[in-house]
Amino acid sequence: MDTNKLAFTVQISEEALQELKIIKKSGTPAVRKKIERIVQELQETPEKGVGAPEQLKGKEGIVYSRALNKKDRLIYEIFKEENLVVIVQFLGHYQDK
């Protein structure tokens, strides 16, 4: 990846960081690899890529979901003016919350 083309900074919320620790301990290698790929994509094209990005309706701001597996979704919010993406969830499905 050409670091000169990075448009967005990616941050992980405290809750999502705790979930990421769980995934690193007990998640499948395929899910861990998919997370790495998605995080790389979020730096350049947060609205496109693997995991079938879907903008969530009924949420304040620009909030997207990407599938990690049948059960879990990576949920993130895009702050375009700040060139920032904040990952808020790795485990569960947004409909579970």
Model confidence at 27, pLDDT cuts 50, 70, 90, reads confident
Q: Going from the N-terminus, what domains does the chain have, and what CATH number goes with each?
A: 9-89 (3.30.2310.20)
| pLDDT > 80? residue 4 | no
Instruction: Answer yes or no: is pLDDT of 1 > 90.
Output: no
Pick from 81, 84, 78: nearest CA to 59: 78
pLDDT higher at 14 or 4: 14
Residue 74 in this model has a pLDDT that exceeds 90: yes
In SS3 terms, 16-48 reads as HHHHHHHHHHHCCHHHHHHHHHHHHHHHHCCCC
Whole-structure pTM value: 0.87
| Tokens 């995991």, located at residue | 51
